[in-house]
Amino acid sequence: MSEKTDIILYKGVIGLDLMLRGHHLLCVHGFRGMGYSPEFVKKMSSVVEEIRDDSNDFQIKVVAALDDTCGACPHKGKTTCEANEDSNEHVLSMDHNVIQHLGLSEGTVYKKSFLVQLTAEKVEPNDLDLICKGCSWLPYGVCKEGISELREKYDYQELR
């Protein structure tokens, strides 16, 4: 079964297109094919493709918990991230930081187009230093680059 088929079947089963944890709302814009395992990269690539496809709008439930991308992560435990003893607390803090920064409500379903537009409007590349503090991917620069590209696409200028 292809990733696209999985998403379609998932839609039909529970009436929800995608569940994403707060910090993944930002990760999808900076994702450049790096990840925790080949399976995770494949899953994240599929999700990113759907998010970046402007012709396709769908519902996303925003959570501070394991989400649809976490299912392919080798660090996924039964209900928490188990990369190390502090990892779950860390990713939850990033989830909450993003949800708060965007003014969203945890557990609420939003249209993808709204979330992408909101991210372009409210998140600047340098905001990631605080929102994503301690993230192992932040030093690569791809996250800030992705947010910058998103803001350019929606014609938001960086504040100086």
Predicted pLDDT at 74: 74
What is the Cα–Cα distance from 69 to 50, expressed in whole angstroms? Answer: 13
Predicted pLDDT at 72: 83
**Does 160 map to a domain?**
no
Which of 21, 19, 30 minimizes the C-alpha distance to 123?
30
40-49, 65-74, 94-103, 125-134: segment of lowest average pLDDT: 65-74
Amino acid occupying residue 38? P
**Does 143 map to a domain?**
yes
pLDDT tens column, 37-60: 999 899 999 999 999 999 989 999
Domain of 141, in residue numbers: 3-153
Residue 1 has pLDDT above 60, yes or no: no
Q: Exposed, middle or buried: residue 85 (CB in 10 Å: 0-12, 13-18, 19+)? A: exposed
Which pair of structure tokens corresponds to residue 72? 């392919």
pLDDT tens column, 106-153: 999 999 999 999 999 999 999 999 999 999 999 999 999 999 999 999
**Does 140 map to a domain?**
yes
What is the Cα–Cα distance from 126 to 115, expressed in whole angstroms? Answer: 19
pTM: 0.85
Residue 22 has pLDDT above 60, yes or no: yes
**Count of structural domains within the chain:** 1
Q: pLDDT category, 81, cuts 50, 70, 90?
A: confident
* Strands 59-63 and 18-21, sheet pairing: parallel
**Does 145 map to a domain?**
yes
Average pLDDT over residues 70-84: 83
Residue 83 per-residue DSSP state = S
CA 124, 66, 31, 101: dihedral to nearest 10 degrees? 0
**Does 116 map to a domain?**
yes
**Does 57 map to a domain?**
yes
pLDDT over 70 percentage in the chain: 88
**Does 158 map to a domain?**
no
What is the Cα–Cα distance from 86 to 28, expressed in whole angstroms? Answer: 23
